[in-house]
Amino acid sequence: MPRELTQNRIQKIWVPTKDDRRRAAGAPNFANPPTVIVMVGLPARGKTYMSKKLTRYLNWIGMPTKVFNVGEYRREAVKNYSSYDFFKPDNEYAVKIRQQCALAALRDVKSYLKDEGGQVAVFDATNTTRERRDMILKFGSENSFKVFFIESVCDDPNVIASNIMEVKVSCPDYRDCNKTEAMLDFHRRIECYKTSYQPLDPDQHDRDLSFIKVIDVGRRFLVNRIQDHIQSKIVYYLMNIHVQPRTIYLCRHGESTDNLEGRLGGDSGLSPRGKQFSAALARFVEEQQLKNLKVWTSQLCRSIQTAEHLGVPYEQWKALNEIDAGLCEEMTYDEVKEKFPEEFALRDEDKYYYRYPAGESYQDLVQRVEPVIMELERQENVLVICHQAVMRCLLAYFLDKSADEMPYLKCPLHTVLKLTPVAYGCKVESISLNVEAVNTHRDRPEEVKRGPGTLIRRNSVTPLTSPESNIKKPRIDDLDEAPIQELPPSVASLALCSPSHLPLALAGQHWLGKVCLT
């Protein structure tokens, strides 16, 4: 006897009736055993950069992922970093501390993957010796975790110097040093690792392991024994990202006639003010003086009309079309409230998962828009002229916003968001082109009745913000000895290093993100 099916009210996904309270997966479930991604490489080879970017991507496509950076554990344990001497291989005391830190991080990995609903853990450390990697493999095998290595190999001194300048020199380790001192010390630090570095050996020793070697910042890749779907996607992603400086501009089409009437969706043309905006956009683009700007639009009239004013070639992507409001297309919010009061309420209850009847949800949008993200990673300077919900999706990817926040990100008409990758994150500048427009933003309603506790199935395409590091409290109790005070207080630093906040710490950057967008 086949089971009775019900369409769950929010997602409009058909599920067996007794299951209808659970939040259904929005996409096929591919990852089975949890995976530990193990970074490998000398310092300043981009391991943390790749860890964070990959984590952001995996979380955005709904695969709960978290970075475990062993350097952070070390900074917790050893409050004051003195000099590269700490990293000398014969510094027995330090070697012990570093080993403990790695173990503490692995303990947290296990807890994340087994008890906290994590699917992928990124173990970010040098992991340059076979001994260390064997320990991790054993850990993986004991816990039935898959292990996938990402090794970054680079010997170009320019690249390394540039990396050190961008992220190391301003790291808490070097808070009280000047740039030259920091650079020098860091180079010596690297030398400490070089003698014991055993790169992955695909021909003999490591031929049965699953890994990708990224050589010279992506010029070349060696890929060995991909086991499953998620490893295949990780490899594809790593092969598409690059580190060339570039800028991504996101904006919506100019104000449309439907906007003026407060109507959702549809395929109307620009209002007079919308045309003004398009002209202003053309001027703005010219002022930016970019070489080789690609312009992308959706296949809806208002987006294309906006691009037409630029007088440059543009590509149309159906994937950039606005969220399909299904039966509610072209209605005003009041009409929706009147004709579909229940739907109206459900949407406010859970805006990310809510699918319009015969339409789409933000969850569907994320899947639809993923190839656009992949191509954006490949490209350099791009202007994307899209729509409110789509822009929120894209922005959530670049700014690491969760499913909860995504539908409420502020993306007003006639405003361009200029995104520039910087250090481990993304600088955002919000530029209003000074042409009046209606406001189409609906804030999260105050009294929203939250639905009954819904379980999130793994891989339910629910973007998560990359989790904060575990390092919140001192973990002295995990180590044999008390933290080492290596230096007199004048050089000591008591600050926690939390790389996720590094972009804010860099001097002279605009950061309008948090204030203006949420």
Partner 1 sequence: ACSSVPQFCNSPTVIVMVGLPARGKTYISKKLTRYLNWIGVPTKMFNVGQYRREAVKIYKNFEFFKPDNEEAMRIRKACAAAALKDVSAYFTKEQGQVAVFDATNTTRERRAVIISLAKEKGYKVFFVESICDDPEIIAENIKQVKSGSPDYVDRDIDEAMEDFVQRIECYKASYMPIDDEKDRKLSYIKIFDVGSRYLVNRVQDHIQSRIVYYLMNIHVTPRSIYLSRHGESELNLLGRIGGDSGLSPRGLKYANALADFIRSQKITDLKVWTSHMKRTIQTAETLGVQYEQWKALNEIDAGVCEELTYEEIQENFPEEFALRDQDKYRYRYPKGESYEDLVHRLEPVIMELERQENVLVVCHQAVMRCLLAYFLDKPADELPYLRCPLHTVLKLTPIAYGCKVESYFLNIEAVNTHRERPTNVNINRDTEEALQTVPDHV
Instruction: Tell me which residues are annotated as active site.
Output: 253, 322
Q: Is 259 annotated as ligand-binding? A: yes
Residues 266-325 that bind partner 1 (CB under 8 A): 267, 296, 299, 315-318
Binding mask 194-223 for partner 1 (x = CB under 8 A): --------x----------------xxxxx
CA 245 to chain centre: 18
Among the residue ranges 95-103, 229-237, 256-264, 386-394, the one whose residues contact partner 1 (CB under 8 A): 229-237
Q: Residue 97 in contact with residue 484, Cβ under 8 Å?
A: yes
Binding status of residue 375 toward partner 1 by CB under 8 A:
yes
Q: Residue 430 in contact with residue 330, Cβ under 8 Å?
A: no
Q: Read off the tokens for 213.
A: 């070697």
Give the nearer residue to partner 1 in terms of CB position, either 20 or 267. Answer: 267
Query: Would strands 294-297 and 382-386 be described as parallel, antiparallel, or unpaired?
Result: parallel
Least distance in angstroms from the C-beta of 118 to partner 1: 21
Binding status of residue 17 toward partner 1 by CB under 8 A:
no
Q: Is 324 annotated as ligand-binding? A: no
Cα gap 10→23, rounded to integer Å: 9
- Residue from 18, 19, 21, 30 touching partner 1 (CB under 8 A): that is 30
Residue corresponding to tokens 């955005």: 60
Binding status of residue 43 toward partner 1 by CB under 8 A:
no
Binding status of residue 151 toward partner 1 by CB under 8 A:
no
Q: Is 253 annotated as ligand-binding? A: yes
Conformational region of residue 85, where left means phi above 0, alpha means psi within -120 to 50, and beta covers everything else: alpha
Give the nearer residue to partner 1 in terms of CB position, either 267 or 349. Answer: 267
Binding status of residue 510 toward partner 1 by CB under 8 A:
no
Binding status of residue 381 toward partner 1 by CB under 8 A:
no
3-state secondary structure of 114: helix
Q: Is 258 annotated as ligand-binding? A: yes
Give the nearer residue to partner 1 in terms of CB position, either 88 or 457. Answer: 457
- Residue from 20, 27, 137, 333 touching partner 1 (CB under 8 A): that is 27
Give the nearer residue to partner 1 in terms of CB position, either 72 or 206. Answer: 206
Cα gap 114→33, rounded to integer Å: 10
Q: Residue 127 in contact with residue 147, Cβ under 8 Å?
A: no
Task: Give, in order, the Cα–Cα distances in Å from 7 to each of 75, 329, 336, 350.
Answer: 50, 21, 20, 16
Cα gap 382→398, rounded to integer Å: 14
3-state secondary structure of 146: strand
Give the nearer residue to partner 1 in terms of CB position, either 91 or 224. Answer: 224
Binding status of residue 367 toward partner 1 by CB under 8 A:
yes
- Residue from 25, 37, 121, 328 touching partner 1 (CB under 8 A): that is 25
Cα gap 401→293, rounded to integer Å: 26
Give the nearer residue to partner 1 in terms of CB position, either 403 or 428. Answer: 403
Q: Is 256 annotated as ligand-binding? A: yes
Binding status of residue 16 toward partner 1 by CB under 8 A:
yes
Non-local CB neighbours of 289 within 8 Å, separated by 6+ positions: none
CA 69 to chain centre: 16
Cα gap 320→392, rounded to integer Å: 12
407 — phi, psi (to 5°)?
-70, -5
Least distance in angstroms from the C-beta of 406 to partner 1: 18
Among the residue ranges 113-121, 160-168, 226-234, 408-416, the one whose residues contact partner 1 (CB under 8 A): 226-234
Among the residue ranges 25-33, 51-59, 108-116, 132-140, the one whose residues contact partner 1 (CB under 8 A): 25-33
3-state secondary structure of 74: helix
Cα gap 423→426, rounded to integer Å: 8
Query: Would strands 248-252 and 382-386 be described as parallel, antiparallel, or unpaired?
Result: parallel
Least distance in angstroms from the C-beta of 304 to partner 1: 11
127 — phi, psi (to 5°)?
45, 45
Q: Is 152 annotated as ligand-binding? A: no
Least distance in angstroms from the C-beta of 18 to partner 1: 13
Give the nearer residue to partner 1 in terms of CB position, either 27 or 506. Answer: 27
Cα gap 174→80, rounded to integer Å: 10
Binding status of residue 240 toward partner 1 by CB under 8 A:
yes
Binding residues for substrate: 252-259, 302
Residues lying near partner 1 in the complex (CB under 8 A): 2-3, 5, 7, 12-14, 16, 24-30, 202, 219-226, 229, 232, 235-236, 239-240, 267, 296, 299, 315-318, 329, 358, 364, 367, 375, 378
Binding residues: 252-259, 302
